[in-house]
Amino acid sequence: MTLDDYLTGEENLRFHAVLYGLHGDEIKRRMDPLLEMVGLTDWASQQTRFYSGGMKRRLEIARGLLHTPRVLFLDEPTIGLDPQTRVHIWDYVDELRVRESTTMFLTTHYMDEAERCDRIAIIDRGRIVAIDSPDALKASVGVDTVTIETADDATARDEITRGLGVEGEVLDEGEGVRLRVPDGESFVPRMFAHLTVGVRNVNVRRPSLDDVFIQYTGRDMRDAEAGGVDQLKASPMVRGFRRG
């Protein structure tokens, strides 16, 4: 943590604001909505030595956003925060990016946060193993998975194989047929045109960033107890870039 424990939350923000050339009413105009966003309005007059670890992290995030930077570096900004606070913070960051044309560099283990970026780099053991847009990375992993439940799964599989040249896998009794195709959404209408059996359910699953992460970093467990540089080298990481 980089807060002064003997200053209040508000004093920490004001000190930071002055360092970046903000004065007077401008400080309060920017500070009040940020304190509300991170849920610390009622704690603003308390010394931060009485804050929990999570509260200090939230105040640090508010401080980093206070001067509306043109380039914003976020190092795992929401780790350990509750889902509601994460949503509020990202809503504000997205608004800031559009309003102030802020460019964001993000380090995170949360795949939903990485999805927000224009480009993603996956780092494993200190080395970039993949870098591209989210969609391109997901496409690099492989095909979509289409699962259909029908009145006669074996017949459905045979009709799809004969009519579309796609091999299917009949799952356990009553669980349907699984197909792997390059573009599931465009495949489904063509599939229906060839089926004579009734279809009860269709599910299309695209590769996710979790799939991408595992594909490029492997499935082996990593030692999180090494500490320091060793832990940094061992733990896979996602870094994202988002243009303002």
Report which secondary-structure segment, H or E, holds 159.
Answer: helix 153-164
pTM value? 0.65
Q: Which amino acid type is present at position 75? A: D
Of 21-25, 74-78, 188-192, the one with minimum mean pLDDT is: 74-78
What local confidence, expressed as pLDDT, does residue 226 receive?
Answer: 43
Tell me the CB-side half-sphere exposure of residue 116, using CA atoms within 13 A.
18
Give dist(CA 230, CA 240) in Å, integer. Answer: 22
What's the pLDDT tens digit per position in 91-139?
878 887 888 788 989 998 888 889 989 999 999 988 999 999 998 998 8
CA angle 210, 216, 220 (to 5 degrees): 85
pLDDT at 42: 96
- Checking if the pLDDT of 223 tops 60, the result is no
Q: CA 75, CA 105: separation in Å to the nearest integer?
A: 8
Structure tokens at 216: 């490029």
Query: Is residue 234 over pLDDT 90?
Result: no
| List of domains in the chain | 145-205 (3.30.70)
| 138-197 pLDDT tens trace | 888 888 999 999 999 999 999 999 999 999 889 887 789 999 998 898 999 999 998 999
